[in-house]
Amino acid sequence: MEQVMRDNNIEFSDNKLSVYNFGDDFSSANSNINKRFFEGGTRYRDAVQIVVATGEYWLFDYGVVVFWAVDKTARQALISSLKKDNTTHFEQIEEHLSFTFAYELMIKKDVISLPDHDPLMRLAISHALAQSSKLMEYEVQAQNSIKNYSHIPEELAKFGKISISQKEIAKIRGTLLSTKSDIILHYGLLDTPDFFWEYPEYEAIYERMARYMDIRQRVDLLSKKLSTINELFEVLAEEQKHQHSSFLEWIIIVLISIEIVFFLVQEFKNLMA
């Protein structure tokens, strides 16, 4: 789209809509994001609108940025500027759509048609897009955990035991617990945003975009993946308990054996006396 799309306060230079998930919590004191980018913007609960020369972008406190008509060069420059340093652990998930203006709201084939230039309508859509991107982050975490340790129940079913040490089991349990806790602690981010308590007239727009992104179905699937992680956790806990019990049993057997040996030695001495 070559023509400029004019808002009351914004001139959109193109029709690109991009979503970036930094895997970071912008509101955290430990965030890698330069907080000065939140200054001068307009805040709506957990989102801040920043207007730039070619369009706008919305910064969400939970680590997602939604760009409206910000070209690739400007996006990359802004993304680089958003970082306070060159940390390599910065995780980035990207999604790209497009938008236009029409007579009614329509979402089809990754093209969003907006009926007017209301910035809060764009925010309602951005909320759904940001949640979808955050959900993707959790989906990847859960899937990787299941994939990395799927051999454990298979090994248990095949051999009746797991050929790893108690220390390794403890490490794996810690990793699974960390993944599960991280997702559950942030699970509220996938609920209907608080913004719509204050602006209920925009909730239907959000719901429509959320349905297009299959957010509810994906949340249900994520819950099932968390249940699988929990089952893996319980299997490992039981195996660790079994290994500990076996270890104690062997200690008892060894102690009894030693006691029997001492008894026999003493009896032998008494016979020889």
Tell me the pLDDT tens digit for each residue of 128-157. Answer: 999 999 888 888 888 888 888 778 777 777
d(Cα 160, Cα 110) in Å, to the nearest integer? Answer: 49
Q: What is the pLDDT of residue 18?
A: 92
Mean pLDDT, the chain, rounded, equals 80
Strands (E), the chain: 5-6, 11-12, 16-21, 42-44, 47-51, 56-60, 64-68, 93-101, 106-108, 111-114
Q: Which pLDDT score, from 0 to 100, does residue 98 have?
A: 93
The pLDDT, as a whole number, for residue 238 is: 67
Q: Select from 115, 83, 132, 135 the least CA-distant residue to 205.
A: 115
What does DSSP assign to residue 103?
S
pLDDT on residue 123: 97
Confidence category of residue 53, pLDDT binned at 50, 70, 90: confident
Point out the least confidently predicted range of 78-87, 112-121, 215-224: 78-87
Task: State which amino acid sits at residue 5.
Answer: M
User: What's the pLDDT at 88?
Assistant: 40
Helix, coil or strand: residue 6: strand
| Higher per-residue confidence, 196 vs 235 | 196
Which of 24-28, 210-214, 267-271 reaches the highest mean pLDDT?
A: 210-214
Residue 57 has what pLDDT? 92
What pLDDT sits at residue 97?
A: 93
- 15-20 mean pLDDT: 91
The model's confidence at residue 3, banded by pLDDT at 50, 70 and 90, is very low
Predicted pLDDT of residue 182: 76
Q: What is the pLDDT of residue 200?
A: 95
Q: Beta 111-114 vs 106-108: how paired, if at all?
A: antiparallel
**Could you tell me if 146 and 137 are in contact, meaning their C-beta atoms sit under 8 angstroms apart?**
no
Report the distance separating Cα 104 and Cα 76, nearest Å: 32
How much is the pLDDT for 213?
94
More confident: 195 or 71: 195
Q: What whole-number percentage of the chain has pLDDT above 90?
A: 27
Chain center to CA of 188: 12
Is the pLDDT score of 74 beyond 60?
A: yes
Please tell me the predicted confidence (pLDDT) of residue 32: 65
* Nearest in space to 65 (alpha carbons), one of 7, 23, 108: 23
pLDDT at 2: 39
- Report how far residue 149's alpha carbon sits from residue 147's, in angstroms, rounded to the nearest whole number: 6
Asked if residue 8 has pLDDT above 60, the reply is: no
| Best-predicted range by mean pLDDT (4-13, 25-34, 101-110, 146-155) | 101-110
Position 4 pLDDT exceeds 50: no
Q: Distance (Å, rounded) from C-alpha 8 to C-alpha 175?
A: 50
pLDDT at 73 over 80: yes
From the CB of residue 105, how many other CB atoms can be counted at a distance below 10 Å?
17
Question: Which of residues 46 and 81 earns the better pLDDT score?
Answer: 46
Here the tokens at position 140 are 């990847």
